[in-house]
Structure 1
């Protein structure tokens, strides 16, 4: 069963159409929501949370309509916003416990649950310190903890690594993976940091100008392509020129040659692929370059992102 389903979802702000007939189905797991600034990511998230009503079309979260049943949705969803939303004078324990009580937990159960999730995000020892003294990384962990405290079925994370240094980003991504894969909570991560999404996500939804571009498993989008990546040590320009003379379609990418391979699974196409490898080897010898790496190039989210904006 799909967790989130939209059909012809449209949202207009006067003369601006933020979502334009968006139809998409999001399955359980960790899903990356990808799009440039103004693509409609924030508008989609707000509609799913019941904070905005669509102009037309429909959306539901775990079978609940976002307009008629938004209270039920909020009990099922944990939200980690991008913006700063933490009260500086409260401790993490006080704030997360307060958020648990807002979700309906009794006082004692709220305190116990707050301690559990703060331990999960690595703030158990610091839980009684005022939030004003927290680093950016610690503050992001508090926001994740409050999103988890009511034991949601779905987490919606808006730029969860925003403002973090490389070590902090790695730790946050590891937390997201643990939460999604070990605890069985589905996660929707809205981010523009494509490399990070590749590390943690199982599915990707790419939107542009409010419309769906792609929605697939990550492996289908970033699998092997029909391009042979050849990294060389030596005169890459001469190497590429010699490959072109041999009838190959080649593009230079820094110290690498990207060689187009024949399409098809039939015997003739496979034979032509092997012949292309032979040509690359022979041209390397003839031009005096060293072959450092030869492999099928894998797709990246950056490729899809760039394609959506061309």
Structure 2
């Protein structure tokens, strides 16, 4: 099932081209949209929501055209913006109920949905306090709740971990993963933090300067490489020298040694070198590629 698709999508501003002939499609599940700041991620979301017109090309969201059917798209899509846009004098409950009503839910249903959604994102009694007194993590949860309250088919999350500490990022990522797996809602999550997307996404789209670099399943991007990472208690330099003498390609990276696998005999040579030098092996593992390798 195709959630959204673009064809030669271009957006030009007077001094910059935010999107440059972007052609890509997104299926169900959790999809990561990754790129450096200024790569065009936020512009793409605004076009898909019908908030900003494209200069050229076309787009479809749930089969609808953002250029002419933006209102219908926004009824079926949840959006968590990057910037802080919450009213400080309202409580989370009041705000999320209001957003539910804006999406067309009756008053009673809106209050029930708001209570359920705020509970899902981890806001209990705090939901009655004014938002102005919330921490950054609590505000991010409110923004996530308002994106979910009308039971959308897909949600767009723009930098959902922005401003959070490591624990807050982990909690937010777990929430996003639950939405895509347990709630059955497709997710497009934008981030410039590559490691985060590797943890939660089924598919990743990489863009740079508004152009598509790659669109692949996460498994294809993080598949095992032909490099072994080795760590020993002492004698790393001796091990590197011994392997180099046997014709292996090695490199010291901090406390680890990387070895390029050229044939099955590389493993045998590594084992024999560790034994001959009487070294204590701490770690031996095959490296996996990372999303950041695409940028390199």
Q: Which residue is 2:10 aligned to?
A: 10
Question: Is residue 295 from structure 1 mapped to residue 280 from structure 2 by the alignment?
Answer: no
Following superposition of structure 1 onto structure 2, how do residues 72-221 of structure 1 map, counting pairs within 5 Å?
72-221=72-221
- Aligned-partner Cα distance in 1 for 2:158–2:55: 23
Deviates more, 1:168-177 or 1:29-38: 168-177
Deviation readout 1:234-293 (Å, 9 max, x if unpaired): 23233223212211122222122222123xxxxxxxxx31x1111112222344533222
- Aligned-partner Cα distance in 1 for 2:149–2:50: 20
- Aligned-partner Cα distance in 1 for 2:190–2:75: 20
3-state secondary structure, aligned to 2:126: coil
3-state secondary structure, aligned to 1:52: coil
CA contact (8 A) 1:39 1:207 kept: yes
Q: Which residue is 1:25 aligned to?
A: 25
Segments of 5+ residues of structure 1 without an aligned counterpart are: 263-271
TM-fit CA distance, 1:162 = 1.4
- Aligned-partner Cα distance in 2 for 1:279–1:28: 46
**Aligned-CA RMSD value:** 1.5
**Could you tell me the TM-score, scaled by structure 1's length?**
0.91
Following superposition of structure 1 onto structure 2, how do residues 248-287 of structure 1 map, counting pairs within 5 Å?
248-262=248-262, 272-273=263-264, 275-287=265-277
- Aligned-partner Cα distance in 2 for 1:240–1:38: 42
Q: Which residue is 1:268 aligned to?
A: none
3-state secondary structure, aligned to 1:109: helix
- Aligned-partner Cα distance in 2 for 1:119–1:281: 53
Q: Which runs of 4+ in 1 moved over 6 A?
A: none
CA contact (8 A) 1:3 1:27 kept: yes
Aligned residues: 296
Q: Which residue is 1:66 aligned to?
A: 66
**Could you tell me the TM-score, scaled by structure 2's length?**
0.95
- Aligned-partner Cα distance in 1 for 2:198–2:224: 15
TM-fit CA distance, 1:67 = 0.7
TM-fit CA distance, 1:54 = 1.2
- Aligned-partner Cα distance in 2 for 1:135–1:103: 26
Deviates more, 1:3-12 or 1:247-256: 247-256
CA contact (8 A) 1:59 1:65 kept: yes
- Aligned-partner Cα distance in 1 for 2:231–2:23: 41
Deviates more, 1:285-294 or 1:45-54: 285-294
CA contact (8 A) 1:236 1:257 kept: yes
Segments of 5+ residues of structure 2 without an aligned counterpart are: none
- Aligned-partner Cα distance in 2 for 1:146–1:106: 15
Deviation readout 1:40-64 (Å, 9 max, x if unpaired): 1111111111111111111111111
TM-fit CA distance, 1:141 = 0.8
3-state secondary structure, aligned to 1:51: coil
